[in-house]
Amino acid sequence: MPLRAKPSSAPNESASQTTRTPPTFATPRRASKTSEIVALEIVRNIVEQDLKPGDRLPLEAEMLKQYRVSRSSLREALRLLEVQGLIAIRPGPGAGTVVGSVHPGNLARTLTLYLHMAGSTYDKLLDAWMAAEPVLAGLAAKNPDRAKVREMMGPFVSKDHAEHGKWAIAEGLDFHDRIATLADNPVLALALQSISYISTEQVLTNPERSQLEEQIVHDHSELAEAIIAGKPDKAEKLMAEHIQHVVEDFKAYWPRRVGEKIQWR
């Protein structure tokens, strides 16, 4: 589905300033660059036209006409969005720009860069993770759509889950993604899950984790039961304990990494 030109609201090279009352924060907000304004316009068009991940954006020549900016500004705008994972630029034959996804993993990358620069340590990251996950678990337990809760949490209740022998970290992450969905607050889900993504990406790297895997399967099963039963307090408590189990395992395995500073990688 092609983007339609909107000449009336399209920015141009000279209109790079918006008239707005400056915020009263200590750090004043800098003026947006043309490429940033174009990036914002592209996002606005994606949202307005309800484009989905994988949908194509117009060709470069078309976008140059549509946004009335220089090629370098347009490319910079696309690059800004590509870095955030909000679009993907495919080179070669059949090349083109497609819509990306609002994925906490993408936000996690940006957040990691900030945390790296801020000199934050893994201790603080893990503390934040332990604070974040129970919030989502509590909200999931309160979700009024009980049928959906049962449908999404049901597969994790099974006590013989571990015997299937196919359990993998990915499945564990899927469990947490489902809880974030059931929490039914995209703002909290995105913000808090980005913390989870950094933690799991950088923490769940221990190759020898059969004991922990059993613990995780057990924890997930208990959590799923509490969420299905609609018990937010219990779900919060169990989630805090669950993350604690994973964090303790990490601290035992990588004692020196705990105090280290977070690295962007």
Q: Which is nearer to Zn ion, 87 or 247 (CB)?
A: 247
| Contact positions with Zn ion (CB under 5 A) in 164-183 | 172
Residue nearest Zn ion, CB atom distance: 172
Q: Quote the CA–CA distance of 75 and 222 in Å, as a whole number.
A: 49
Q: Among 210, 226, 228, which Cα is nearest to 167's?
A: 210
Q: Which is nearer to Zn ion, 11 or 172 (CB)?
A: 172
Q: Quote the CA–CA distance of 143 and 180 in Å, as a whole number.
A: 11
CB of 235 to Zn ion, least distance (A): 13
CB of 206 to Zn ion, least distance (A): 14
CB of 179 to Zn ion, least distance (A): 9
CA dihedral 212→218→224→226, nearest 10 degrees, is: -120
Buried b / exposed e across 96-124, counting CB within 10 Å, b at 16+? Answer: ebebbeebbbbbbbebbeebeeeebebee
CB of 157 to Zn ion, least distance (A): 14
How many residues of this chain interact with Zn ion, rule: CB under 5 A?
A: 1
CB of 133 to Zn ion, least distance (A): 8
Q: Which is nearer to Zn ion, 85 or 172 (CB)?
A: 172
Q: Which is nearer to Zn ion, 49 or 215 (CB)?
A: 215
Q: Which is nearer to Zn ion, 104 or 172 (CB)?
A: 172
Judged by the rule CB under 5 A, the positions of this chain that interact with Zn ion are 172
